[in-house]
Structure 1
Amino acid sequence: MLAKANRIVRGDDFRRIVRTGRRAGGAVAVVHRARPEAAVARFGFIVSKQVGNAVVRNRVKRRLSEIVRAELDAIEPADIVIRALPAAGRADFATLRAGIVPLLERRS
């Protein structure tokens, strides 16, 4: 799990990042990146019902969180929202990681 300082939880923050941030897409997710409001990288995850049932959605969220936690030191401070696409529900961990890490490394 990500530290509290690295999580986005307010709906207003999610809306601001998705609407005003720069977007980079891949096969399994779309990453929205906006200017940071804090001195650290903060992350939020959007996993809709199109991804799968509750078990699948929660598994995808846990996997995304673990991928981000492992890459946290290499990511410059920004507010980032990761929106999972339906393919993320069918992807294994290695495929999901391969699809997310390049999107996280892109600069805004």
Structure 2
Amino acid sequence: MLARPNRLTRGAEYKAVVRRGRRCAGAHTVIYVSRVVTDGPARFGFIVSRQVGGAVVRNTVRRRLKALCFESLDAVAPGSDVVIRALPSAASASFAELRTDVTRCLARRTT
């Protein structure tokens, strides 16, 4: 689970990352990465809309994405803000497919 300092919490923070961040699209996710001036920890936010599925499916997808971000926390540069938007196909994607999407985009955008 991601610790409190590693999470985006305010709507304005999400909006800033989505508007100003660099975008990387995968088969099941769209990832936005924005470098912040401060050297604080990397922070993550998740957008899983109703188009993905019902509440149980959405929460499952969100938990999988959080676990993947926790795994790749060391690979993300400090001071990066990352927002991951799940596409409807994420509901039927396996954990390995989501891992491939997330790690590929994070490796491209956070170096």
- Per the normalisation by structure 2, the TM-score is 0.92
Q: CA–CA distance in 2 between the matches of 1:74 and 1:35?
A: 14
1:89 is the counterpart of 2:91: yes
- Amino acid in structure 2 at the alignment position of 1:32: Y
Gaps of 5+ in 1: none
Q: Give 1:107 shift.
A: 2.8
Residue in 1 aligned with 2:61?
60
Deviation per residue, 1:23-82 (Å, 9 max, x gap): 010101000111225521100000001111100000000000000001101111200000
Map 1:6-21; keep pairs closer than 5 Å.
Answer: 6-21=6-21
Gaps of 5+ in 2: none
- Amino acid in structure 2 at the alignment position of 1:28: H
Q: CA–CA distance in 2 between the matches of 1:7 and 1:86?
A: 23
- Amino acid in structure 2 at the alignment position of 1:24: C
Q: CA–CA distance in 2 between the matches of 1:81 and 1:107?
A: 12
- Amino acid in structure 2 at the alignment position of 1:49: R
The count of residues paired between Structure 1 and Structure 2 equals 108
Q: CA–CA distance in 1 between the matches of 2:47 and 2:7?
A: 13
**Stretches of 4+ aligned residues off by more than 6 angstroms:** none
**SS across alignment from 1:72:** coil
CA contact (8 A) 2:24 2:109 kept: no
Deviation per residue, 1:72-101 (Å, 9 max, x gap): 011112000000001111111111111111
**C-alpha RMSD of the superposition:** 1.1
- Per the normalisation by structure 1, the TM-score is 0.95
**SS across alignment from 2:32:** strand
Q: CA–CA distance in 2 between the matches of 1:74 and 1:38?
A: 15
Residue in 2 aligned with 1:72?
73
1:28 is the counterpart of 2:63: no
